[in-house]
Amino acid sequence: MKKHIVTAFIAAAMLSSCGKKEANENLEFPRTTWDMSMEEAMDAWGVTEETVKDYDRDDVFVIEGYELFGEETESIQFQYYDFEGNGEPKLMQVFVTYPSDADMDHVSAEMQKVYGEPDPDVTFYYPYSALDTLMPYEAKDLDSVTSWALGSVAEVIPADERKDYREPWEFYQYGLNEENWDQFIQDSRLIRISLITDGGWNRVEFNSSNKWICEAIQKQLSEGK
C-alpha cells in the first residue's frame, strides 16, 4: 500500500483544487503524461529515433523547431532516468530553451492559462548537483523565476518513517544530511514547473524527479531492501 501514497496524494490534490477545472493540475508537459515511456512521448510529439537530435544517449531525446506557449523554442529536451533500476526509466524532466529575444512574459501568460496561477513560495534544489553543500536555487533577480508546484515531499512521507528515507535520498541529492533533511523535504515539491529568465537564459523546466525518487524509495523500503 505504501507505494501508492504519492499517486494517491497527487490525485487528492487535483480533486481539492477548486475553481481551476480547465487547468492542467498534474503539471504535465503538453501532449505528454509523466508516466509515458520515451517511445510514447516521441510518438505523442510525432518524432522518431531518426528525426530527433542527439539520440545517441539512451536517456534523452531532443526536438527542435517547435512553438510552445506562444513563442518559438530553440530546443525541447526530454530526460529520463531509471530510478528503480528495473530497466523502466521515468520521464523526470522536460527542459525547454527559448531564444534570448523570446517574449517570456507572453510565455508566462500562456502558461497560466494552462496551469493556473503561479505559486510564489516555491523553493527547489537540483538533484545530482555538483555542490557539496545542499543549496536551493537562488536567482539573482527574484522576478526572473515563476513557478508552479504540486505537493511537498514531507506531505507524503509518514512522519515515523522520515529517517528511513533520508539515507537512500542522499544518493540522489548531494549535500543532504541529518541537519538539513527536515528543511529539504518541507521545501521540495513532488512536481514542479519553473519559468526562468535569470542571467538572460530563457528556459522552462518541468521536473518530476522528487515524485519518482519518493516512489522508488517507498518501494525499496516496502520490499525490505
| pLDDT tens sequence for the chain (225 residues) | 444 445 544 444 443 433 344 557 899 999 999 999 999 999 999 999 888 876 677 899 999 999 999 999 999 999 999 999 999 999 999 999 999 999 999 999 999 999 999 999 999 998 877 667 899 998 888 789 999 999 999 999 999 999 999 999 999 998 999 999 999 999 999 999 999 998 889 999 999 999 999 999 999 998 875
> Whole-model pTM?
0.88
For 10, 33, 177, 203, the CA distances from 71, given in Å and listed in that order, are 30, 22, 41, 12
The range of the structural domain enclosing residue 99 comes to: 2-222
C-alpha cell recorded at residue 64:
527542435
The count of domains in the chain is 1
In sequence order, which ranges of 27-180 are alpha helices (DSSP H)?
38-44, 104-115, 162-169
Question: Of 209, 208, 154, 207, which is closest to residue 185 (Cα–Cα)?
Answer: 154
